């Protein structure tokens, strides 16, 4: 009995979890399915990351998510990487697999799952606006799932060209970079247009992408990573002409579903998470 006590450490700390949409979603799923897990939010400074990972190991956590600025720097503290995390060089989800901490990237997987409800990426010509973490994650997963042609449109030339090089070198797909210096006209041959920039976020101060909305065709699938508001001006324009659209809510819900599956081996109902996300974001 005393040994049981000695091996336990019961903590109490202040957590900034209140109002965090991901925390709310995951906790709602745990509660709904009566899973004996908790999902809490801890603020970790860059200089404390090594100790935080050691702490997660010591406490035998099932895993954890990471946000910027930890997505790349965490890799040095892990025991291995999943395929897409290895290709991207970024981890947003760590999974304890038999005592080994393995880094995965669920952002792109969440997008892919949402996309596949609408169509298959196979053989599609894909234009991605942006070349940051979200664009990279989406492009890699789409390429791993059979997409072969990419156009990366970005303001910062180096970031855009780096993503093109990654797609060509590591995934052997066709990719071209387009410098985004003026209003961008979507070429007619594009099947899928994805906004993976932060333009459109309610608090970004900038609501409109510098693209020619009239160049969007009814036959295109138009997707946006923006979660709040989910009905961005881009998606409103696309759906007004009858194009199929995919909003950022599906991506964020699916990446959480995939994370929970990794940690608990349980398939949670995405509708519970979706409803909780809408409640928290007051959508």
Give catalytic status of residue 261 as yes or no: no
Query: How many whole angstroms separate alpha carbon 107 and alpha carbon 244?
Result: 21
Q: Which of 34, 71, 124, 172 is catalytic?
A: 71
Query: How many whole angstroms separate alpha carbon 107 and alpha carbon 138?
Result: 7
In 17-120, alpha helices (H): 21-32, 49-58, 70-73, 83-88, 107-116
Return the residue nearest ligand NDP (CB atom): 132
Question: In 3-state terms, what secondary structure has residue 176?
Answer: strand
- Using alpha carbons, list the distances in angstroms from residue 154 to 26, 28, 134: 33, 37, 13
CB 8, min distance to ligand NDP, A = 36
Question: In 3-state terms, what secondary structure has residue 195?
Answer: strand
Residue 155 near ligand NDP by CB under 6 A = yes
What is the number of H-type helices and E-type strands within the chain?
A: 11, 10
Residue 67 near ligand NDP by CB under 6 A = no
Residue 248 near ligand NDP by CB under 6 A = yes
Residue 159 near ligand NDP by CB under 6 A = yes
Please list every residue from 187 through 226 that binds ligand NDP, using CB under 6 A: 197-199, 201, 206, 225-226
Residue 127 near ligand NDP by CB under 6 A = no
Residue 255 near ligand NDP by CB under 6 A = yes
CB 176, min distance to ligand NDP, A = 16
CB 271, min distance to ligand NDP, A = 17
Cβ neighbours of 49 (radius 10 Å): 17
- What is the 8-class DSSP label of residue 228? S
Closer CB to ligand NDP, 94 or 135, in the complex: 135
Closer CB to ligand NDP, 66 or 251, in the complex: 251
State phi, psi for 140 to the nearest 5 degrees: -65, -45
Residue 73 near ligand NDP by CB under 6 A = no
Q: Catalytic amino acids?
A: 71
Residue ranges in contact with ligand NDP by CB under 6 A: 107, 110, 130-135, 154-156, 159, 197-199, 201, 206, 225-227, 248, 251-252, 255
């Amino acid at each position: 009995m005393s040994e049981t006590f000695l091996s336990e450490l019961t903590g109490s700390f202040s957590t900034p979890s209140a109002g965090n949409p991901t925390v709310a979603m995951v906790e709602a799923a745990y509660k709904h399915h009566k899973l004996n897990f908790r999902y809490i939010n801890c603020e970790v400074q860059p200089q404390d990351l090594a100790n935080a990972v050691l702490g997660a190991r010591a406490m035998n956590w099932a895993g954890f998510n990471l946000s910027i600025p930890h997505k790349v720097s965490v890799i040095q503290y892990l025991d291995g990487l999943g395929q897409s995390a290895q290709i991207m060089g970024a981890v947003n989800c760590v999974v304890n697999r038999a005592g080994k901490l393995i880094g995965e990237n669920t952002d792109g997987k969440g997008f892919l799952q949402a996309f596949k409800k609408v169509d298959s990426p196979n053989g599609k010509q894909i234009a991605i606006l942006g070349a940051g973490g979200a664009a990279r994650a989406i492009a890699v997963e789409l390429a791993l799932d059979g997409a072969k042609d990419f156009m990366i449109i970005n303001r910062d030339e180096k970031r855009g060209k780096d993503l093109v090089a990654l797609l060509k070198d590591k995934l052997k797909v066709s990719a071209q970079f387009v410098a985004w210096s003026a209003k961008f006209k979507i070429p007619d041959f594009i099947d899928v247009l994805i906004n993976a920039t932060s333009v459109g976020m309610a608090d970004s101060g900038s609501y409109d992408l510098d693209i020619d909305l009239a160049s969007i065709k009814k036959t295109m699938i138009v997707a946006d990573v923006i979660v709040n508001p989910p009905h961005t001006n881009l998606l409103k324009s696309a759906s007004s002409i009858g194009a199929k659209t995919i909003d950022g809510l599906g991506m964020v819900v699916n990446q959480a579903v995939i994370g929970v599956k990794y940690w608990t081996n349980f398939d949670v109902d995405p509708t519970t998470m979706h409803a909780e996300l809408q409640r928290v974001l007051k959508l």
